Every structure is written in structure tokens, then in C-alpha cells.
Amino acid sequence: MDWSPLWFKETGTVVEENEEGEKVEREAVTHWKALGPIFEETYDGVNDMATMRPFWIEKHNYEKQTYQYDFVPPFFVHYRDPNLVRWEIYTFIQRRRTGLLHENVIETFLIVPFVWFHYEPGRPDKSYYGLFPIYGEFQEFMFDKTTWALWPLYWTITTGDTTRMGTPWPFIQTLHGPGTGGALVWPIMGHWWQEGKMDYQFLFWPFIYRKVDQLDRPIPRVREGFLPFWATEHGEFVDDVTIIWPFFGWKEDRTKGYTEERYFYPFFMQGRGDNEYTNRWAPFYTHSIKTGVDKTWYMWPAYKFRTQREKDLIIDRTQFFYFVYWNETQRSATNPNLAEAYETHVWPWISEYDNGAGLKQAQLLSIFEVFYPHSQTVRDLYTPMLAFWRCQWNTNTGESKQSFLWDFMVEEKTPDNTRFEINPYIFVHDVGEDRAQFQLGGGLLGYKREGTYEDGKETLQLLWFDIEL
């Protein structure tokens, strides 16, 4: 381990794969830092992480042949592996090349919503391009196919065998397809149909409408409305009535064994079902169970508790004003004797983590973690820059490390060693079974022992000179 006033370097043994694919050991720099938390790189023979905080971070995994570069995440990300290369600028500009392993490269380039390009070799029906709003198309994005020319003068939406055309969109529209027809002058009036499937009419949209669908069932579904006075839905499985829309009404869904009463929707309502439950008296109290997620609100948005099961895990989450206090606990659903894992944030001051397997971490000043609780990239890039106190300990090995003021003061402990530093290189206290070191001012005054007290070598440091004792 080597400290200088501006940088820190640590060497160790790493296991790497040589050109013949054999595992070999060699000495390498495993960790270095410069200017506190600004520049940092770690390397263990398989994973390599380098960063200049708070601007960029890059990660290599030489075993999986993956590489990821993030610039002020989530603004820009670049990723590649043997089968994929992609980059994106805040999701609005995207570039992807997939199928590299099979030499059947599929290329996609998007500038949402202006430029669309997708190419599949040998599949002209799946290849498309577009420059919005001038001319083009895209596929399998909300609809099967969408085309446009000088939008909104011309726009078509295709779903299955049915095409809806707008000239100009959305005011004049027609519907075409097998057994399909209709036209509308939006929002004044409209009527379209599909034989054996649906019939839809409206007048002064969205106030007066009647839609009949599921015509192939014994009892078709009929939805009618004269808003805001009333709206109804009746069918084989569902009956729903709303008076003075959307405030008062009731609903029965026979597929779920669910009934619902709305007293002043969305504030006051109750619902009961086989696998669904709602009891809402907002903003004072709400309790709901839906798709296995149990949520409870008190004085919305002040307090929220949420629990759900994912495979063999039970996940509990507690929030106070969404992010001011945020806690998530994970425990085993099959083995109650296993330790819990948890993550807690008191924004913007404190974050604490426990993986349930002996590794724990805490920090003061934690601004981004609560908004990206499952993003390791955000944690690696921003946390060391902002956290002025960090502590990490392993209850299994007895090892711990804590730093204060961005590594100005560092303490590391193992069962055999204790090291305390005030940097850059002002004071070092390092004591173990086979060594001891006390140093002030980078060698201005110090003492060093290598070996045991009985047969070790002792050195006195005075004005940067070593004097053997």
C-alpha cells in the first residue's frame, strides 16, 4: 500500500487468463485513487472499474466479455457484449446492433420521435425507416404498424388486418379491412364496425357514445355513456354503472368474484374479491390487495406500506412522503430462520444497507440512492463523491472500514490488523501481529517495526531519515 499527498495505490495478487486460456497469478495494481474520490480504479483480474466522479464510470468484465460506460447516468450509456452493442442518450436517442454472434446483425437507430430505423437482413417485411413528421413507418411499437407522410396530413395505424387512416389526423378518419368499415369527423360524430366483433358510435366525443363488442360471445358487451350524467357497461362477465361520472357507482366482475362500490370516486370506494381487495377513504386511509401486492396508505402521501412476494422472497417497503424515508426489507418466504436483508434511506442524510449475509454499509449524505435504489452504476459513481462518512463491515470475517471527509480520515480493521490514517499522509497508525507503524508528516517523525517484537527489525524515522534501532 502506498500513499502520497495526492494519490493512493494498493497492489495485490490477481488471477488472469493468458493467451492460452490458462489461469495464472501475477502482481498488479488492484486499487488506486487520486484527488480523494475524484479518480478511482479497482481491478481483481476479472472485473475492472474506472471512474472520474461525478462525470463518468466504466466497467469491464473480462470473463463475460462485457463493457459498460456511463456518462452522468442516466444521461448516456454505452454497453457491449459478444452479441450486442448499444448506446443511448437518456432513452430518446438509441442505437442497437444485435445478433453479432450469428453474423445476422439486426440494426436499430431511434431519435424519438423523429428518426426511426430498423433493419433485419433477409426480412424486408420487418425492416423499416422513417423521418418524422416527413415520411416513414415503424412497427411493433404500440401498434403492429404505423405509417405517415407530412404528419398530420396522412397517418395510418394497422392492427392485424384492420387499418385506420387519418387525413388529416385525427379529424378525418376511415377504417378499412375485411368485414370492417366506418368513418368519423372528430370530435363531432363517428361510426365504425367489424363484422362479428364490434360496433362503435359516438356523438360529440367523449360525451355521448355506444360501443358493442365481444359479439362472438353469448352475451355481447355493451358500453354506453351520456357524460357526465351516467355511464354503463353490461356483458357476460361484467356489470358496471356510474352516476354523475366518475363519482358514484358500483361494479361486479364475475371472472374475479369481485364487487365494488364507489361513493365519491376516486376518494371513497370499497371493493371485495377472491384475490382483490380495496378499502379507500382517501386521503386518510387506503388499503388494497391486487395481483399479490398489499398496499396501505395513511394520510396520503405521508405514509405508505407495501408488501409482496416474488418467488421465494417476501419484500416489505415502507415510505414516508415517497422518498424522505424509504426502507425495503427482503426475507425468505420458505425459511424464516434466514437473516433479513434491508436497505434504508433518510433523504438526503443517511443510507444503510445489509445484504443479510454479513455485509453491511452505512453512509452520511446520500442524495441519489433513494431515487435509484437498485442501480449499482449510480451507487458506484455518485456515492463516494457525496458521502462524507462511509462505513462498511463484514460480520463474518470481522473486517471493517470507515472513512471520513472523502478519505481524509480512514480506519481499517481486520482480526489481525488495525490501520488509521489522516491523509494526505499526515498521520499513519498501522498495527498487526508482524508489523507496526506510526508516522507523522510523511516521514517527518515515525516508528516502524517489521516482524515480531522478539526478532523484528525496528526503524526510527526522523526528518525523513531512517535510523535502525
Output the pLDDT for position 2.
Answer: 47
Output the pLDDT for position 441.
Answer: 66
Output the pLDDT for position 82.
Answer: 92
58 in Cβ contact with 74 (< 8 Å): no
* DSSP helix/strand/coil, 375: coil
Exposed / middle / buried, residue 196 (Cβ in 10 Å: 0-12, 13-18, 19+): exposed
446 in Cβ contact with 430 (< 8 Å): no
Output the pLDDT for position 407.
Answer: 73
Q: Cα dist. 230→136, 198, 222, 464 in Å?
A: 42, 22, 14, 90
First-to-final CA distance of the chain: 24
Distance, CA of 291 to CA of 282 (rounded, Å) = 21
Output the pLDDT for position 143.
Answer: 86
Output the pLDDT for position 8.
Answer: 66
Mean pLDDT for each 10-residue chunk of the chain (469 residues)?
57 75 79 82 90 92 93 92 92 89 85 85 84 89 89 93 93 94 95 93 96 93 96 96 95 94 94 92 94 93 94 94 94 89 93 91 89 82 83 89 82 81 66 70 70 68 68
Distance, CA of 287 to CA of 292 (rounded, Å) = 13
Q: How are beta strands 303-310 and 208-213 bridged, if at all?
A: unpaired
Output the pLDDT for position 372.
Answer: 83
pTM above 0.85, yes or no: no
Q: Of 65, 56, 27, 55, which is closest to residue 43 (Cα–Cα)?
A: 27
What b/e readout covers 163-188, taking b as 16+ CB neighbours within 10 angstroms?
A: bbbbeebeeebebeeeebebebeeee
Q: Rounded to 5 degrees, what are φ and ψ at 268?
A: -120, 120
Output the pLDDT for position 119.
Answer: 83
Output the pLDDT for position 267.
Answer: 94
Distance, CA of 389 to CA of 348 (rounded, Å) = 13
Output the pLDDT for position 314.
Answer: 94
Output the pLDDT for position 443.
Answer: 63
